[in-house]
Homo-oligomer: A and B are copies of this chain.
Amino acid sequence: MTLTEQLLSGNRLALTRLLTQVENDTTEGRAALTELFPHTGKAHLIGVTGAPGTGKSSLVNQLALHFRKQAERRIAVVAVDPSSPFTGGAVLGDRVRMRDLAGDPGVFIRSMASRGSLGGLAQTTAGLVQVFDAAGFDIILIETVGAGQAEVEIAHLAHTTLVVEAPGLGDDIQAIKAGILEIADILVVNKADRPGVENTLKALRSALELAHPVRHVFQHHGVLKVVEAPHEPEYNSWIPPIRKTVATEGTGISELADEIDRHARHLHESGDWATRERSRLGSELEALLQNMLVARFRKQVSESIYEEVLDRVYQRELAPWEAVKVLLNGRSK
């Protein structure tokens, strides 16, 4: 049996080995992804992102435990740490997790420190997710540390995106929100037992109004109702709910998990699941293309010519844009 066949028949060692091959972007890893691809597309991919200090890891742990217990689903976690391009910053996090989740074959956690470019990071994450998907995991949680562009791009790999906030993380947070809010399907205020939680909720609510402008407000039996205008297809009817949690105590986890399942149902019923799936795969194709184009170019231009051109840039004889033209036109072995 090949490694991919072993994986498809539920072999955990095969899973570990394939994950490593995909992470290292080996030839075997690429071949395996191609073989496994027809078996993907079943898992619910959930992105969890937010600034440091919001307690995302605990939240992801609790969600994994909950989904596992409540519905016996198999859960994979891909923890991406793009802040650590050099060392394996994700190792500590894993050890902490292991305490709760170790020994359960229905839960698998994979941490990944970033290597190389961001394109590479999103690509590797997509690959790991495909391996888990093919291996039959029902829910795949993709956790990213931080709230930068990298996280936004990785969040685009998911069907459902959770943005986690916490009270009292300082004023910069306010600036962060605007952009990251627009990718949120569900907002989580974790550490909700902390002082300042009302301010955080208030800030989120007003930011949410900016990001998802209300289309119609009307009175129905004396009650104010809000609906999206049905003739504006760019607005679907999902308004991101805000959920309070205290992950370290398990508070609010069950309600959050229900909200996640509700979002999955919404995606299927509205047809948005297919739309997201297509756009997800489009981003993936994009990233692969970019890497391949650069790799091909590297093969065509000799190192010495590249160095020579860079040297002329360094001497200010050639502007970077001119250098690009020289390299693209004067390719030689």
Contacts and interface: CB of A to CB of B under 8 A. Distances in A.
Interface of A: 30, 33-35, 37-38, 40-41, 51-57, 81-90, 92-93, 113-114, 117-119, 121, 126, 145-153, 166, 169-180, 182, 210-211, 277-278, 281-282, 284-285, 288-290, 292-294, 296-297, 309-310, 313-314, 316, 319-324, 327-328
Closest 7 CB pairs of A and B: A53-B170, A84-B179, A148-B148, A37-B319, A82-B149, A52-B172, A146-B148
Nearest to A307: B282
Contacts of A40: 316
20 contacts: A34-B321, A37-B316, A38-B319, A52-B52, A52-B175, A53-B172, A53-B173, A55-B172, A57-B172, A82-B149, A86-B182, A90-B175, A92-B175, A114-B149, A114-B179, A118-B149, A281-B310, A281-B320, A282-B310, A289-B324
A175 B86 contact: no
B297 A293 contact: yes
Contacts of A176: 52, 83-84, 89, 145-146
Given A148-B146, A321-B33, A182 B87 contact: yes
Contact of A121 (B90, B149, B177): B149
A34 B178 contact: no
A37 B322 CA distance: 10
Contacts of A54: 170, 172
Contacts of A89: 175-179
B148 A172 contact: no
A150 to B, nearest CB: 4
A133 B175 CA distance: 28
A41 B288 CA distance: 35
Nearest to A149: B82
